[in-house]
Structure 1
């Protein structure tokens, strides 16, 4: 795994995965920002997965999506992703679902059975099979389950009053997607993580699921059992979640420079900006590529 040196220099930049694949035995792949933009698959994504498969390099998809893993797979298949490539997916939403179902963590010791959902209707499958009672009023809730803004294009400021009320009521929050923002079809939109971060700033208690927490990588390591962590790389576009998560989990981070940081990094990525972001998030990429192409 790449160690953080005292003086950070930019990692080597390659044209695609062909120059990197031979260095590792297996891969953990981010989804949104690496394989698709929320609407369509990126050019070259399927070909690159085919090339990895042909080279005998297994992969697991790990995504900070606030929906069940099955829903993530269905959406990618609808975009044109071969079903065979969607066999091993773990979403932060799946981890959230399992936690809400199990409730064994001390976090739930003083939490009642009523929750309020902040998030769009497309995330409602997160609650299927759970015995939580849902309410539309913060005053009647015991827990906030945050999967993101109700409407694309809203800002954190649009939720200020509701978040402040939740803190005043002492409601804990579950964040099913730690991402602060995402690029959807070329447009930046806030995610659940932006709302959760503001909730913490206001004094609220948040339980986070997904990258960069090391725990969510354990599923990947079970699927990739038999492979040494030193020979596994995690490909992602976000320093805060993907690269920091890889660092926390003990595997090499590979930066897709044209993702969420694309505008500030440039192409090829500017060495000083890569170094600055690596320092900020304590996550130094072992290498970078412009996009997930072969």
Structure 2
């Protein structure tokens, strides 16, 4: 357990930082976290935000500024699962898409040579979330997905998160829908953390901001989600600073004073290791 990012800063040239759960909880920002990243950058270092948001990076930049007052002083570049997914769709020969997700994710498709169609016309499916995560459950989609799987339609999931914090609640995300699609036997490609393509993009962004390639050993990943942030960075050989009061906060006792033994046991059970942990990101 460490008291702040300053404890580790000297060892790293760049940070790859999660957004939801570290910089905000879906409703309220964590100003001290944004300040910590700004102070890291003030030392001539680089911050890349990496998020499983199924939208282009520009949309997340605008959202952070408008809703959470987090501006570009806290980061150099944003990489989203959506921005990586767009490159996949550009190389997808089929053009007719059925989108499963809320309307605010439609920017994912803007400017791409594809057509959003009804269920019956679809050649493949893109999952960005539930249509209405306030009223629906994942099981609501079983009949529709069964029809898609029977037709042999491939599904792309542009947000691997299964659940995410919204204030003091957890709500289902597209990753939960992808799990159902796989359970039904559907051909499914998942884009985002913990998979390597988004880390390749994030490391490339770190190199651009530094003006030179950098070794993974000089990059620190910061995140709160074990199956996404922690597993993803660990599997790529990147050191991890885990924010414990995020999505798994209730598992480790007191949010702001987690039990190190419970954290260590959970990491062993998951087969993961981290460089350090902190309740909330601060400098």
TM-score by length of 1: 0.88
Deviation above 4 Å: which 4+ runs of structure 1?
none
1:62 and 2:50 are equivalent in the alignment: yes
CA shift digits 1:149-199 (9 cap, x unpaired): 011222211212112222122111000000000001222110000000111
- Output aligned runs, 1:193-232, within 5 Å: 193-225=175-207, 226-232=213-219
Q: Which deviates further from its counterpart, 283-292 or 44-53?
A: 44-53
Q: Is the 8 A contact 1:239 1:277 kept in 2?
A: no
Show the counterpart of 1:17.
5
Determine which structure has greater relative contact order: mean sequence separation of CA pairs < 8 Å that are 6+ residues apart, divided by chain length.
1
Structure 1: tracts of 5 or more residues without a match: 1-12
From 240, 245, 264, the equivalent of 1:258 is: 245
1:190 and 2:172 are equivalent in the alignment: yes
Show the counterpart of 2:69.
80
Paired residues in the alignment total 274
Q: Which deviates further from its counterpart, 54-63 or 249-258?
A: 54-63
Show the counterpart of 1:289.
278
Helix, strand or coil for the counterpart of 1:210? coil
TM-score by length of 2: 0.91
From 205, 222, 229, the equivalent of 1:242 is: 229
1:51 and 2:29 are equivalent in the alignment: no
Show the counterpart of 2:266.
277
Show the counterpart of 2:78.
89
From 167, 173, 176, the equivalent of 2:155 is: 173
CA shift digits 1:202-255 (9 cap, x unpaired): 111111111101221112222323322112110000110001110122111111
Helix, strand or coil for the counterpart of 1:14? coil
Q: Is the 8 A contact 2:222 2:243 kept in 1?
A: yes
Show the counterpart of 2:88.
99
- Once residues 233 and 283 of structure 1 are traced to their aligned partners in structure 2, the CA distance between those partners, rounded to angstroms, is 15
C-alpha root-mean-square deviation of aligned residues, in Å?
1.6
Helix, strand or coil for the counterpart of 1:44? helix
1:140 and 2:87 are equivalent in the alignment: no
Q: Which deviates further from its counterpart, 39-48 or 70-79?
A: 39-48
